[in-house]
Amino acid sequence: MWRTIRISLLLLTLLVVAFSAWFDQHHTTSWEHTVWVGVVPVNADGSAATARYIDDLREADFAPINEFIAREAQRYGVRLTEPVNVRLYAPVHAAPPVLEPTAGALTRVLWSLKLRHYRWQTLRSITRSRPQIALFVLYHDPAHAAVLPH
C-alpha cells in the first residue's frame, strides 16, 4: 500500500513539473501575449562603486531592449506591438549560487536546485507583479575586475 501511495505521489509530482515546464515554455514562446521580464541587479563584488552604479539604474536604461525586440519581432512576423516588457526591480544583496567549471553531473543538478530556490526566494519578496522571466544581472566594479573569467 505504501509503495503504491509513494509511486502515485512521485508520478503526480512528475506530471505537475512536466505540465508546468510545458506551459511556461509555450506561454513565453507563443508570442500571443507580452512576456514580462524582470531585471534584478546584483552587486556581485560588494563594492561601493558597484552599489552606486546600481542605485543610479533606471527603468529607461533598459528601454532599448524593448525597442530592439519589438523591431526584430515585427521583422519575423510577430503581431504584438509589445512582445516583451522589461522592468527594473529592486537590487538583491545575495549573489546567486556559483557553479564551479569542473563540476560533475550531480553537482550541476544540486546547483540547479539551489538556483531555482534562489529565484523563488528572491521573487517571493517582490510586492508588485512578478516577472515571468527573471534576469539576475551581476554587476562588478571594473577597477577590481576588468575582465571576467567567462
Question: 74-125: per-residue pLDDT in tens?
Answer: 998 888 889 999 999 999 888 899 888 888 888 998 898 899 899 989 888 8
* 22 band by pLDDT with thresholds 50, 70 and 90: confident
Which uninterrupted H or E stretch holds 50?
Answer: helix 48-56
44 closest CA partner among 113, 141, 149 = 141
By mean pLDDT, which of 35-44, 67-76, 126-135 is the weakest? 126-135
In the chain, count H helices and then E strands.
Answer: 4, 3
Cell (9 digits) for 113: 536546485
pTM assigned to the model: 0.74
